Chains A and B, each alone.
Chain A
Amino acid sequence: MQERTWAASEAPDSDAAVGGIEKYRLPLAVAAAVPVVLVLIYTVGDKDTGLVTQSVVTGLLLGGVYALVSIGLTLIFGVLGVINFAHGAMLSLSMFLVFWLTSTLGLPVYLATVVAVPLMLGFGFVVQGGLLNRLTVSGNHEGSLLVTLGLSLLITNVLLMIFGGRPLSVPGSLEGAWRVFGAIASYERLIAFGGALLVALALTLVLNKTSFGMCIRAVSANSQGAALVGVNVGRVYALTFGIGSACVAVAGGLLAPFLSLTPTVGEEFTILAFVIVVLGGLGSVVGAMVGGIVIGLVQTVGALYLPGTGSLILVFAVFVIVLLFRPQGIFGVTR
């Protein structure tokens, strides 16, 4: 498990010229399949076009939300090999942190998000550095799984103790919506979508253009090798978990305005986030973004034909098909 490969899109491609097209075949196929399916639904789908447009817009925006939640997870999963069961609880924690900052200190919600990011980064750093590092370095996966599960129970119940279980709303958010082709896109969700793009872009830049990013990629590819050339592996692990947590903080802050906050609100996203991470390819930020959007679209557009739980069945059908033909995920590379 120390032998981790970085995703194709972000790997420094020495052989890009040779294997480039081959490598991008599936991502391109997915990118092409989405519009084709949408055109088919518009023309022969036998549904009100306004309704289809709305479901596409909703699906894209929901996909942004999913991507935002998944980016932190894919980083932690891809680099550390830690299946972070506390991801949902950490999302709840970020939302309540933002709630507390807005309701007690009176900060506007998006400013509170900015404040929450370094706090969660510190939290993640401490969790990985203090609780998980020994397990991760020794390659013990059951251990870190149990620790994060315990952590999620702890976070959820502490939140329950402090805030109670009644649904809370973050005050003073940005009401209103933008109309596109007769469809509605609320400002809050548009901002969340933009936030997802920004986080994905920033993270890609950090990973590919900075020396710290190179350390992360080196540790991810071969931690022993990285240690041999002088990388402090423990610290990189801790910082990676910290950055993953900071992404969660952004997600929490941008989601809080349109969700009802309960201590278990984040957990609703956990399973889908794992699906998206595996679908997009472990450790691939772009994969998480694309995977999130694909899942969001499948869920909402699919709901026109298979309402309710049926749309989730479609989501998992897509998941199974991708795993069958490309087990490493859309943007993953074969090991």
Chain B
Amino acid sequence: MQKLIGVAAMTVASIALVACGGEGAEGEVEDIVIGAVHPLSGALAGAGTTMSHAAEMAVKDLNEAGGIECLDGAQLRLAAGDSKGAAATGQSEAQRLIDEGSVALVGTYQSDVTQNVSAVAERAGVPLVIDVAVDDAILEQGYKNTFRIQPNATSMGTDGGAALLKMAEENGQSIDKVSYIHVEGAFGQSVFDAFEAEAQSAGVDVEEITYSPANFSDATTVVRQAASGNPDVILATGYYPDGLLIAKAVQQLNPDIQAVYGIANGAFDNGPFPSDAGPAGEGVLSANYHYDANDERVQDIRKRFQERYNEPMETAAVLTYQAVEVIKAALDQACSDDPMEVRNAIADIEIEDPLLAFDGPIVFDETGQNENATVIAMQVLDEKIEQVYPAEFKAADLAYPAK
């Protein structure tokens, strides 16, 4: 009897739930859901949470500006998912967000997670706008529904290398030999390979030194190894803690080099780096995609973000904000909340005033890659990260040689 009552109660409850759902749908204009998948717990929770906040703030800003006009001012709503930093979890979270009616997805900060989410988006016919994920392979799968705003690994390695050579040349220095320290795995390796090709075509010798992402708590040996070949520049690609350790080890060993130069480095142009590294950070150069610090709209967004969430808005979060804006622009253009029409609108979109320091407007090629995504060079000068190269984004004068 008790069992029966239980079943009855469950049935009543579920009917009530269904009824509630129905009521909402019949009311005014429905919200348009944007799904965001980021690592909100686990080792990458810090960056992931900031990015999710950025998506939340973008949605709020766009709603306050009137929502989607041609859909009767429909409001956007963010549905956030936690990938926990794992590809399988990210995949199921993406599926859940799509099942909940997301017209588009944003994410995911990690290449492997993005790869899986991209497959889900392809199957479900929902566009995915990548905010951060660098691996070339993601867009090489031939999927039609995935778009990436930031530059891929190859273009970062190539452009980062070219920028270094030009900066040295403009300052009357020549680079014959460099040592490149990078983390093992697709991220470090693909950036390095692209750099090596670029450097070798300019006649520069490249020595490669790798380290494991696990249990990297002392950089002295790898830096010593890098310095032992008497390079002109020591380069580094890796995550925040690694970059900090490397910069400190370089300062302690004090080799005779022109500069420490990061490409797609998680530390060197990250807000807390100058104060965490102290004197070891001074003069460190970094080629990375970056928000345009000279742009007034970026300054305003970052200021409000800091006030609202009490944490600085790093480039990754600015990219998330930008990704939501891309989706909003596509909704405006498509004048529809059908995911496939939104997808087609994204493919044709042109965002004239990107928040990032890019070569031109955001325009996606047929693989879904933003054609004008590029890196700029930054340098730590007087404990501040300044944009130094190229000239159009310059905020301070480059110090080269930096050491």
Q: Residues of A with Cβ closer than 8 Å to B?
A: 48, 50-51, 54-55, 57-58, 61-62, 65, 157, 160, 164-169, 175, 177, 183-184, 186, 189, 258-260, 262-264, 268-269, 272, 299-300, 303-304, 307-309, 311-312
Q: Is the CB of B215 within 8 A of A186?
A: no
- Could you tell me the distance between the alpha carbons of A54 and B226 in the complex, rounded to whole angstroms? 12
Residues of A within 8 A of B201 (CB): none
Can you list 28 contacts pairing A with B, beta carbon distance less than 8 Å?
A: A51-B221, A54-B220, A55-B221, A55-B224, A58-B218, A58-B221, A62-B218, A160-B41, A165-B47, A165-B48, A165-B49, A166-B46, A166-B47, A167-B240, A167-B272, A167-B276, A168-B272, A169-B276, A184-B220, A186-B220, A189-B218, A258-B245, A259-B241, A260-B240, A264-B43, A272-B215, A299-B215, A308-B211
A260-B241 contact, Cβ under 8 Å, with A58-B221, A61-B218, A65-B217: yes
Q: Is the CB of A307 within 8 A of B252?
A: no
Q: Mark B40-55, 1 if CB is under 8 A from A, else 0.
A: 0111111111100000
**Which among B42, B50, B248, B279 is the interface contact of A264 at CB below 8 angstroms?**
B42
Residues of B within 8 A of A55 (CB): 221, 224
Chain B residue nearest to A175 in the complex (CB) = B278
Residues of A within 8 A of B221 (CB): 51, 54-55, 58, 300, 303-304
Residues of A within 8 A of B240 (CB): 167, 260
Residues of A within 8 A of B167 (CB): none
Say how far A64's CB is from chain B's closest CB, in angstroms: 11
Say how far A120's CB is from chain B's closest CB, in angstroms: 21
Chain B residue nearest to A56 in the complex (CB) = B221
Most buried by B among A167, A183, A184, A303: A167
- Could you tell me the distance between the alpha carbons of A51 and B42 in the complex, rounded to whole angstroms? 36
Say how far B345's CB is from chain A's closest CB, in angstroms: 34
Chain A residue nearest to B225 in the complex (CB) = A51
Chain B residue nearest to A268 in the complex (CB) = B215
- Please, how many residues of chain B have a CB less than 8 angstroms from a CB on the other chain? 39
Chain A CB within 8 A of B2 CB? no
Q: Is the CB of B228 within 8 A of A184?
A: no
Q: Is the CB of B220 within 8 A of A268?
A: no
Residues of B within 8 A of A164 (CB): 45-46, 49, 311
- Could you tell me the distance between the alpha carbons of A187 and B44 in the complex, rounded to whole angstroms? 30
Most buried by A among B45, B275, B311: B45
Chain A residue nearest to B276 in the complex (CB) = A169
A309-B220 contact, Cβ under 8 Å, with A177-B252, A260-B241, A263-B45: no
Most buried by B among A48, A183, A304, A307: A307
Q: Is the interface of B mostly helix, strand, loop or mixed?
A: helix
Q: Mark B264-275, 1 if CB is under 8 A from A, else 0.
A: 000000001001
Most buried by B among A168, A183, A308, A309: A308
- Could you tell me the distance between the alpha carbons of A237 and B49 in the complex, rounded to whole angstroms? 40
- Could you tell me the distance between the alpha carbons of A308 and B184 in the complex, rounded to whole angstroms? 7
Chain B residue nearest to A167 in the complex (CB) = B240
**Which among A167, A300, A309 is the interface contact of B218 at CB below 8 angstroms?**
A300
Residues of B within 8 A of A54 (CB): 220-221, 224
Say how far B377's CB is from chain A's closest CB, in angstroms: 23
Residues of B within 8 A of A263 (CB): 45
- Could you tell me the distance between the alpha carbons of A223 and B45 in the complex, rounded to whole angstroms? 43
Residues of A within 8 A of B245 (CB): 258
- Could you tell me the distance between the alpha carbons of A164 and B228 in the complex, rounded to whole angstroms? 39
Chain B residue nearest to A312 in the complex (CB) = B212
- Could you tell me the distance between the alpha carbons of A167 and B311 in the complex, rounded to whole angstroms? 12
Chain A residue nearest to B271 in the complex (CB) = A166
Residues of B within 8 A of A299 (CB): 215
Chain B residue nearest to A164 in the complex (CB) = B46
